[in-house]
């Protein structure tokens, strides 16, 4: 089996930021702010409920993002973030959860990558 890259990968001549030992890694943002800001800026519907949970839906209604600190899943399993993607028939295609220790900026990065690829088809298939 041979793998062929569709886009050449270039190693940067210099790191764009401080060397790994000199930087501060994301460790402490556990609010919904970075995710909500990202999604609102892209036209997603964002609703807060009376229990401090935040529910976000993509403009096409096929992606749901929930910040659910006040649910039994968060309390018992530490699942703070719930992401659900539906196929064109409305069936759940896949889900992803992130625990309460995952910084909100990392969840926002995951969602930004998801949004950046508008086609469901992978070039390697």
Q: pLDDT (tens digit, 9 = 90+) per residue, 68-103?
A: 998 887 777 788 999 999 999 999 999 999 998 899
Work out how many domains the chain is built from and give that number: 1
In a domain, 32, yes or no: no
12: in domain: no
User: Considering the domain boundaries, does residue 120 fall inside one?
Assistant: no
Q: What is the pLDDT of residue 16?
A: 60
Could you tell me if residue 18 is inside a domain?
no
Determine the Cα–Cα distance for residues 97 and 66; give it in Å rounded to an integer: 9
Would you say residue 19 lies in a domain? Answer: no
pLDDT of residue 4: 42
For residue 74, tell me if it sits in a domain. yes
93 part of a folded domain: yes
The parent domain of residue 79 ranges over: 42-111
Whether 4 maps to a domain, the answer reads: no
Q: pLDDT by residue (tens digit) across 20-74?
A: 666 666 666 778 999 999 999 999 999 999 988 999 999 999 999 999 998 887 7
Q: How far apart are CA 121 and CA 123, in angstroms?
A: 6
């Amino acid at each position: 089996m041979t793998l062929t890259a569709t886009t050449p990968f270039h190693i940067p001549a210099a790191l764009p930021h401080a060397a790994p030992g000199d930087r501060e890694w994301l460790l402490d943002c556990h609010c919904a702010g970075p995710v909500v800001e990202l999604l609102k800026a892209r036209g997603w519907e964002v609703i807060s409920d009376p229990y401090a949970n935040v529910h976000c839906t993509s403009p096409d209604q096929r992606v749901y993002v929930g910040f659910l600190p006040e649910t039994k899943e968060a309390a018992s399993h530490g699942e703070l973030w719930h992401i659900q993607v539906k196929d064109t028939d409305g069936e759940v295609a896949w889900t992803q959860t992130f625990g309460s220790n995952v910084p909100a900026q990392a969840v926002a990065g995951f969602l930004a990558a998801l949004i950046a690829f508008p086609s469901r088809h992978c070039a390697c298939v």
